[in-house]
């Protein structure tokens, strides 16, 4: 089974619109030459999505993703952003990032509603799962991740537009990435869990790794049988390191 790799850059809360335009102009041409081999998604903050969209141009093969959405379609929800608002500029949305789960107490039930809203609007989902350091150390990482998958995907009938990212919380922004073997072990477990829910379709599901990914360590993840790309935080904020990572994914 060949799955086309996916590399997504999660810019988190970084960059005003002018910086977004600048960073995109530095990377756009090179990234576009790689699109036959790798799907490329850039996820700037909400306030930069429109600028990013026009900086890429409507026919760009590099597409945009949002970092979150609210599950309601519209109305009196001050400060929230709906799926249809995102859909104006984006093809993808990240849901369930651990920073939101931890800092904003986002639950698996919230995440489930968000996934439903995203899919109903035609957005592709990047669902993040991953354990904290205590769970990793006491051997309950798979229990943690299985719960996130089963509850997050409850009543979701079709997984075709869902990508999963395994992002161990202890590896995010810490400079301490998981080993390729540990990431593969979890990616295999994720695929097994998904296959108990969705059967053979799961062979097409892309599973990414995220957490301190850099050009220097991306190969150890891409070499793994069940890992199909990366969700990149800090290294996606530098044109050179992000294009290096995408080039490596294209070369696999």
> Smallest distance, Å, CB 221 to ligand 13P?
12
Query: Which of these ranges, 44-52, 104-112, 133-141, 232-240, lies near ligand 13P under the rule CB under 6 A?
Result: 232-240
- Counting contacts by CB under 6 A, is residue 210 touching ligand 13P? yes
| Pairwise CA distance, residues 45 & 62, whole Å | 16
Report the C-alpha gap between 94 and 119 in whole angstroms.
12
Q: In whole angstroms, how large is the CA radius of gyration of the chain?
A: 17
Q: Please report how close the Cβ of residue 172 comes to ligand 13P at its closest, in angstroms.
A: 4
Residue ranges in 6-65 that form contacts with ligand 13P under rule CB under 6 A:
10
Verify binding: residue 231, ligand 13P, rule CB under 6 A. yes
**Residue 39 belongs to what H/E stretch?**
strand 39-43
For the record, the structure tokens of 244 come out as 């290096």
Residue nearest to ligand 13P (CB): 233
Task: Specify the 3-state DSSP secondary structure of 163.
Answer: strand
Does position 232 interact with ligand 13P (CB under 6 A)? The reply is yes
Which one of residues 212, 220, 243, 247 is an interface residue with ligand 13P (CB under 6 A)? 212
Residue spans of alpha helices (H) in 89-235: 98-103, 108-120, 133-137, 141-152, 180-198, 218-222
Choose the binding region for ligand 13P from 106-114, 138-146, 226-234, 242-250 (rule: CB under 6 A): 226-234
Of 19, 133, 167, 185, the active-site residue reads 167
Please report whether residue 74 would count as binding ligand 13P according to CB under 6 A: no
> Which tokens hold the place of 115?
């996934």
Between 86 and 213, CB nearer to ligand 13P: 213
Q: Which is nearer to ligand 13P, 198 or 229 (CB)?
A: 229
Q: Which residues contact 144 (CB under 8 A, 6 or more apart)?
A: 131, 132, 135
The answer to whether 97 is a known catalytic residue is yes
The reply on whether position 215 binds ligand 13P by CB under 6 A is no
* Catalytic residue (one of 80, 97, 133, 216): 97
Rounded-to-integer distance, Cα 98 and Cα 192, Å:
22
Binding mask 84-113 for ligand 13P (x = CB under 6 A): -------------x----------------
- Rounded Cα–Cα distance for residues 220 and 212 (Å): 12
**Is 35 tagged catalytic?**
no
Q: Which of residues 149-188 bind ligand 13P (CB under 6 A)?
A: 167, 172-173
Does the protein bind ligand 13P through residue 148 (CB under 6 A)?
no
Buried b / exposed e along 83-116 (16+ C-beta atoms within 10 A): bebbbebbbbbbbbbbbbbeeeebebebbbbbbb
Interface with ligand 13P (CB under 6 A): 10, 97, 167, 172-173, 210-213, 231-235
Active site positions, annotated: 97, 167
């Amino acid at each position: 089974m060949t799955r086309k790799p996916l590399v997504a850059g999660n810019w988190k809360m970084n960059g005003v619109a002018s910086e977004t335009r600048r960073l995109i102009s530095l990377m756009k041409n090179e990234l576009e030459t790689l699109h036959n081999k790798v799907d490329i998604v850039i996820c700037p903050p909400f306030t930069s999505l429109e600028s990013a969209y026009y900086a890429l141009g409507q026919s760009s093969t590099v597409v945009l993703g949002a970092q979150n959405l609210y599950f309601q379609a519209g109305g009196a929800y001050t400060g929230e952003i709906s799926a249809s608002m995102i859909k104006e500029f984006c093809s993808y949305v990240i849901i369930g990032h651990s920073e939101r789960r931890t800092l904003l107490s986002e639950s698996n039930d919230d995440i489930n509603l968000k996934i439903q809203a995203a899919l109903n609007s035609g957005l592709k989902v990047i669902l993040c799962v991953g354990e904290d350091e205590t769970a990793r150390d006491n051997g309950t990482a798979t229990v943690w991740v299985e719960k996130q998958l089963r509850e997050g995907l409850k009543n979701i009938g079709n997984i075709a537009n869902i990508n999963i990212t395994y992002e161990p919380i202890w590896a995010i922004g810490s400079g301490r990435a998981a080993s390729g073997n540990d990431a593969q072990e979890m990616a295999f477990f994720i695929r097994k869990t998904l296959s108990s829910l969705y059967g053979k379709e799961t062979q097409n599901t892309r599973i990414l790794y995220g957490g301190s990914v850099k050009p220097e360590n991306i190969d150890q993840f891409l070499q793994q049988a069940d890992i199909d790309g990366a969700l990149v935080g800090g290294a996606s904020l530098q044109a050179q390191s992000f294009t290096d990572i995408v080039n490596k994914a294209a070369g696999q």
